[in-house]
Amino acid sequence: MMRFSTALAMTATLTATTVALVPAAASAHGGAPPRTPTATGYGGAVSTVDPTATAVGLDVLRRGGNAVDAAVAAAATLGVTEPFSAGIGGGGFFVYYDAQHRRVHTIDGRESGPATMTEDIFIDPADGLPYDFAEARVSGLSVGTPGTLATWEAAAGKWGSRSLGSLLRPAAEVADRGFAVDATFRQQIADNAAPFAQFAATSELYLPGGAPPAVGSVQRNPDLADTYRLIAERGTGVFYRGPIGADIVRTVQHPPVADNPTAPWAYPIRPGDLRLSDLAGYRLRFPAPTKSDYRGLTVYGMSTPSSGGTAVGEALNILEQTDLSAVSVTQALHQYLEATALSFADRNRYVGAYTPQATLDRLISDRWARQRACQIDADKALVKPVPPGDLGASGCTPALAGQPVEEGQSTTNLTVADKWGNVVEYTLTIEQTGGSAMVVPGRGFLLNNELTDFNFTGTQGTAPDPNLPGPNKRPRSSMSPTIVLKDGKPFLALGSPGGATIITTVLQVLVNRVDLGMTLPEAMAAPRASQRNSPGVQAEPAFHTRYGPDLTALGHAFAPDVPELGAATAIEFGRHGKLIASAEPARRGGGAAGVVRR
C-alpha cells in the first residue's frame, strides 16, 4: 500500500471541492495535495488512501452516480496511483449494502489457481523442499487468474448506474497525465528494485534510467491508459478471452526477463501454467456474507475464501463474553489479544476455500465463542501459540497444536456511501507490494502473486491443512471488508490492508469505537497491536510504550515493534444522513476522506 500525489488538478470533468485538489501549477512539480483524514457532511462520502482516487469517487457521486459507481471509479484510479497494491492484475472482495432492499451482498473476486495447479506447486522438485518465498513470489507460479476487472463489471452491472467504460475513463486520464511521485511511492519501488529490475517492462515503467523515480517527478502510464480505454470500448472480453488475456498468459508462461538486469537476483525465474482457458473459465462468486451480532450491532463480513469474516466474527463473539466497557483498558486489550489468538488458531486449522458451511457457521456461533472464551484467564495471558479448538468437543477442550501462518503486507481499501444510503466496502490487492514484479508488456499493469497466499506445505501437523494449493482453488485471504448495521441501518463500514493484520486492525478499530468510547477518528488513529497466535504481540511503538508494561505484567510478550499496522478507511453513519468519513491521519502518509457536501 502506498500513496502519492496527483501531479495535475483533476480534469475539467472533476469539480470536487470538498477534497482539496491541487492546482496544476503547484502539483506538477511535486507539491503534495493536502490529505484529509476526516470529513463530515452529507450526500455521500468516499475514503481511500489516495486523494486522487477519493476525488474521482466524489466526482462520480456529485454527478449522480451511486456508491457502486464511485467505488469502481475510485478503485480503477487506485490501479493507476496505487499500482503496487491493487489493479486489474489482482483480486479482491467487494461488500455492498443495498439500501433499498436492506441487504448485504458480497463479490468474491479472488484470484484462482490454474486448472493444472497441484498441491506441490511450491515444492522444488530438485530437493523436495518448499521454495523460498521470494523465489515463489517472483515467478509465473504465483500468478492467479485476476478477478478485479470481473468484479468491477459485475458490481457496475448489478448495482451501478453507469457503464464500466465510463467508470474507467477518469482513471485512464490520470494514467495519461500522470501524478507526482512522493516519498512512499519511491520507497515502494526502491524496496522492489531487484525484482523489478529483472523484467524489462517493469523497469521501463518504474526504474527509469535504472533507478526509482525522483520524488516530485511525474509518473505516467500510457500503456495502462490504453488498456483501460480498450476495455472501455470493447468490454472485459479483451481481458478474459482476448488480446490482453493472451499477453497475461504469455507473461506467466514465459516470464519476460530482461536481457541484462541492472540488479542481481538470487533465484531462477520460473514459469507458471496459467492458460487462456483459465482466464476464460474464471467465475466470480457471490457468497452470502458472514453475519454475527456484537452488542446489538449486526456485523457483516466476507466469507471464504477470505478468512476475514469468520475470524473477525469469532473474535467479536469471544469478546462479547466480557463487558469491555466495564473493565480497565488494560483488561480490554488483554481480552482483545487473547480473542484474536484463539480466533487465528481456529482460522489456521479450519478455514480455506473449501471449508464446509457448517464449519464456518460453527466457528462464528455464540456457542463456539463460549467454548473458546472460557480458556481466557483475566489475570494471565495464554501461552502462544494456542491450540485450535476441537469442533467435536462440547467443553473447553483444545485439539492438536497448529502453526501460526503469515501473509503479505500490500493491498488497499476503500469505503463509499451515497445519498441513497448504499454502502460499499472494498478491499483489493495484488498480494505483496509490487505483486509478482511482472508488468504485462505493453499493458501497464503488474500481475499478482496471490497464489503465495496458499500454504506451501501443511501447517497443521497430522490434521489436514485447509489452505494447500489445488486445481482452480483460491488461496485463503485475510481481507475483511466489514459493514456494521444498527437497527437494520448502516452504522459503520470499514476495512484495511495489511495481510493477516487486516483482521486485527478491523477488530481493534471496532472495539475502540464500540467498547472503548472513542469517536471514529480516534478509533482509527489509536495505536495498534496485533496478536495472531504468535509468541509475541506485534505492536506499533506508541502502543508498546503506553500499554506494554501492564500487558507484559499479565504475561504478554512483545515481538519487535513495527512502525505501523494497516491503513484503514471507514465511514460512520450518524443521524439525519450525517456521514463521518475517516482515513488514516498518519499511517503510510495519511489517507483521504471526503464528503459530497459539508
In the complex, which residues of this chain contact ligand GLU (CB under 6 A)? 407-411, 429, 431, 450, 453, 477-479, 497-499, 502
54 contacts 593 by C-beta, under 8 angstroms: yes
With beta carbons less than 8 A apart as the criterion, state whether 181 and 4 touch.
yes
Using the 8-state DSSP alphabet, how is residue 182 labeled?
-
C-alpha span between 130 and 370 (Å, rounded)? 38
Cβ proximity to ligand GLU: between 160 and 305 the closer is 305
Please say which residue, 72 or 500, places its beta carbon nearer to ligand GLU. 500
Nearest to 173 by CA among 58, 318, 315, 73: 73
CB nearer ligand GLU, residue 223 or residue 453: 453
- Cα 538 from chain centroid? 19
User: Shortest Cβ distance from residue 411 to ligand GLU (Å)?
Assistant: 3
Return the C-alpha torsion angle 74, 80, 82, 87, nearest 10. Answer: 80
| Closer residue to ligand GLU, CB minimum distance, 389 or 497 | 497
CA 368, CA 120: separation in Å to the nearest integer? Answer: 33
Smallest gap from residue 405 Cβ to ligand GLU (A): 11
Looking at the Cβ atoms of 347 and 349, the one nearer to ligand GLU is 347
Number of other CB atoms surrounding residue 41 within 10 Å: 17
Neighbours of 103 (CB within 10 A): 11
CA distance 479 to 458: 22
Q: How far is the CB of 331 from ligand GLU (least distance, A)?
A: 30
CB of 447 to ligand GLU, least distance (A): 14
Q: Which three cell numbers stand for residue 29?
A: 512539480
Least separation in angstroms between residue 567's CB and ligand GLU is: 9
Cβ-based nearer residue to ligand GLU, 290 or 429: 429
Residue environment code for 307-326, b if the CB has 16+ CB neighbours within 10 A, otherwise e: bbbbbbbbbbbbbbbbebee
Q: Give the nearer residue to ligand GLU in terms of CB position, either 308 or 388.
A: 308
CA distance 42 to 591: 20
DSSP-derived 3-state class of residue 423: strand
Q: How many CA atoms lie within 13 A of 17 on its CB side?
A: 2
For the CB of residue 450, give the shortest distance to ligand GLU in the complex, in Å: 6
Whole-angstrom Cα distance, residue 466 to residue 475? 10
Query: Of 293, 317, 298, 296, nearest to 373 (Cα)?
Result: 317
CB of 307 to ligand GLU, least distance (A): 8
411 is catalytic: yes
Residue pair 111/477 in contact by the 8 Å Cβ criterion: no
Q: Which of 227, 340, 411, 482 is catalytic?
A: 411
In the chain, what is the greatest distance between 2 CA atoms, to the nearest angstrom?
68
Q: Which helix (H) or strand (E) covers residue 72, if one does?
A: helix 67-81
Q: If you search the block for the grid coordinates 503486507, which residue do you land on?
A: 409
Q: What is 74-118 written as a DSSP string?
A: HHHHHHHHSTTT-STTSEEEEEEEETTTTEEEEEEE--B--TT--
The residue (of 66 and 433) whose beta carbon lies closer to ligand GLU is: 433
**Whose grid coordinates read 523484467?**
199
In angstroms, give the least distance from the CB of 349 to ligand GLU.
17
Residues in the chain: 598
Q: CB-wise, 170 or 408, nearer to ligand GLU?
A: 408
Asked if residue 130 lies in contact with residue 122, where contact means CB atoms within 8 angstroms, the answer is yes
Least distance in angstroms from the C-beta of 455 to ligand GLU:
13
d(CA 264, CA 418): 49
Name the residues annotated as catalytic: 411
